[in-house]
């Protein structure tokens, strides 16, 4: 039950590559292979009663518009808590800095080792939900033209 740290690191790596591949379908920016992560913990409402093995870590909460900057192994170690990980982690390409592709990890505050609670288990990504880059307000789904990444602004 739950992931080992090594399994979770592999899942983060696979989900990151999926997010980059997905983003490249839309972006005119070439995305460099090296990656860094902008991690936003506790991006969910966690005031409801906890269920099963759920656990929260309110001390991880950051002030509005702030985030941690990690490389993959650091992000995985921060998120992995003795087999428990956030129930959902939305992952998307948000920036390119110093020849590195920057991916945002917007994370649920509820941690669990129960795979049935991971939001994206059916897609094979456990807690990771691969999301598109921020779409321009005037972008039309049928538009064949790619667009550039806008300046990064954290959601939370």
Q: At what angle do helices 72-79 and 5-24 cross, to 10 degrees?
A: 120
Q: What percent of the chain has pLDDT over 70?
A: 99
Question: Once rounded to an integer, what is the mean pLDDT over residues 35-46?
Answer: 96
CA 153 and chain centroid, separation? 15
Distance CA 90, CA 119 (A): 10
**Which residues partner with 128 through β-bridges?**
89
Residue 156 has pLDDT above 70, yes or no: no
Q: Check residues 140 and 49 and name the one with the higher pLDDT.
A: 49
Residue 50 has pLDDT above 90, yes or no: yes
Distance CA 43, CA 11 (A): 20
What's the whole-number average pLDDT of the chain? 93
């Amino acid at each position: 039950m739950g992931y080992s740290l090594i399994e979770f690191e592999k899942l983060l790596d696979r989900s990151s590559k999926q997010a980059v591949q997905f983003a490249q379908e839309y972006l005119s920016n070439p995305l460099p292979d090296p990656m860094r992560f902008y991690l936003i913990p506790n991006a969910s409402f966690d005031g409801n009663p906890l269920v099963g093995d759920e656990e929260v870590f309110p001390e991880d909460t950051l002030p509005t518009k702030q985030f941690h900057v990690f490389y993959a192994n650091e992000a995985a170690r921060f998120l992995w808590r003795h087999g428990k990980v956030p129930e959902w982690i939305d992952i998307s390409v948000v920036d390119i800095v110093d020849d590195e592709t920057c991916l945002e990890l917007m994370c649920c505050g509820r941690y669990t080792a129960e795979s049935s609670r991971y939001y994206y288990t059916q897609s094979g990504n456990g807690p990771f939900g691969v999301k598109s880059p921020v779409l321009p307000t005037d972008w039309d789904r049928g538009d064949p033209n790619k667009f550039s990444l806008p300046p990064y602004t954290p959601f939370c």
